[in-house]
Amino acid sequence: MTEHALLLVNLGSPSSTDTGDVRRYLNQFLMDPYVIDLPWPLRRLLVSLILIRRPAQSAHAYSSIWWYEGSPLVVLSRRLQQVVQSHWTNGPVELAMRYGEPSIEGALKRLAAQGAKRVTLAPLYPQFAESTVTTVVEEARRVAGRHRLGLEMAVLPPFYEQPAYLDVLAKSAQPYLQRGFDHLLLSFHGLPERHLHKADPTGAHCLRGPDCCRQAQADVLDRCYRAQCLRTAEGFARRAGLGEERWSVSFQSRLGRAKWIGPYTEERLDELAAQGVKKLLVMCPAFVTDCIETLEEIGLRGREQFRAAGGEDLVLVPCLNDQPDWAAALAGLCRGVPFPA
């Protein structure tokens, strides 16, 4: 039966660690209006400025985590696809990347050619952001419409507090928690504050006070990345049996000079070391797959920074990657998504 397909979509990576390939990837990524949300001329100007130095720096960072088979993010996503396929008996499971290869266009065309009539689209992000989820959904709709693929589409909503997701997250962290630690830092990918204000349906909620995201009502929670990150963190801590004093939340990967949501991970690493934390555990629950932002930014650079600031060790808990429980949970979540009537 090939009728009901599943398309997993992750962010993407450059095709190699060559500076030219990294520049092409960054250009495609950063020129996406959902990522840098400025009018085209300003976006073009800003991205051109970023592309002067960033490709060489990023190429160096990618080289430090690259695998023989390729980018960790792509290799791990491919492995996840294979395990999810064993749980998805309704049709084929394809993998696409929003930027670079394999493309959403290629994957949807392959599914249509195999006879798929319905596709459940699964952006692999637990929390909602226009720069991740919306851009994937828009691109899939654009491609399906442009090539008249005749596909009915359902979209997996952000699963930031789905019990099935939180349960596997807590289970995967158990061995690391049991080994002992002084503090657990839940470091989520950051976002420019401007993106939160734009997504706020009330126009009056986000970042109005230190606790606004924690108290978000349903309409705001549905769109507020920061509020969803806090829900993930709280849901995880409850399951892991961690008291409030044992963990905290921060936001990483800031790019450019604009204000991003905080507290910033980079600053928290210094603060925690200064407070006497010696063994720091870090989890990155905005990512379901290990990538440059987890392996290099936290696992290498963050670790070095923490130790230079007086900490003894920083242990990075791996993302869910292709863990069997996660693949089963993901297939289950996707199975439950209704198609529009």
Ligand X SMILES: C=CC1=C(C)c2cc3[nH]c(cc4nc(cc5[nH]c(cc1n2)c(C)c5CCC(=O)O)C(CCC(=O)O)=C4C)c(C)c3C=C
Size of the site for ligand X (CB under 6 A): 23
Asked if residue 263 lies in contact with residue 250, where contact means CB atoms within 8 angstroms, the answer is: yes
Please choose which of Fe ion, ligand X, none residue 140 contacts, taking the beta carbon within 5 to 8 angstroms, the exact cut-off set by kind. none
Which of the listed partners (Fe ion, ligand X, none) does 42 bind, with a CB threshold of 5 to 8 Å by partner kind?
none
Task: State the minimum distance, in angstroms, from the CB of residue 73 to ligand X.
Answer: 4
Applying CB under 5 A, among 95, 144, 206, 292 the residue interacting with Fe ion is 206
Known binding residue 293? Answer is: yes
Indicate whether 191 belongs to the interface with ligand X (CB under 6 A). Answer: yes
Instruction: Specify whether the CB–CB gap between 4 and 118 falls below 8 A.
Output: yes
**Phi/psi-derived region of residue 292, left when phi > 0, alpha when psi is between -120 and 50, beta in every other case:** alpha
- Which tokens hold the place of 238? 């409850």
* 4 annotated to a ligand binding site: no
CB of 144 to ligand X, least distance (A): 24
CB of 227 to Fe ion, least distance (A): 5
Q: Is 227 in the site for Fe ion (CB under 5 A)?
A: yes
Does 129 contact ligand X by CB under 6 A?
Answer: yes
Among 159, 181, 247, 287, contact with ligand X (rule: CB under 6 A): 287
75 counts as binding ligand X under rule CB under 6 A: no
Query: Among 7, 66, 71, 187, which residue sits at the site for ligand X (rule: CB under 6 A)?
Result: 71
Smallest separation (angstroms) from ligand X to the CB of 4 = 27
* 265: contact with ligand X by CB under 6 A: no
* Contact between 196 and ligand X per CB under 6 A: no
Residues of this chain that bind ligand X (CB under 6 A)? 11, 13, 26, 35-36, 54, 58, 71, 73, 125, 129, 131-132, 189, 191, 225, 253, 255, 286-287, 291-293
Bind-site residues for Fe(2+): 189, 293
Residues of this chain that bind Fe ion (CB under 5 A)? 206, 213, 224, 226-227
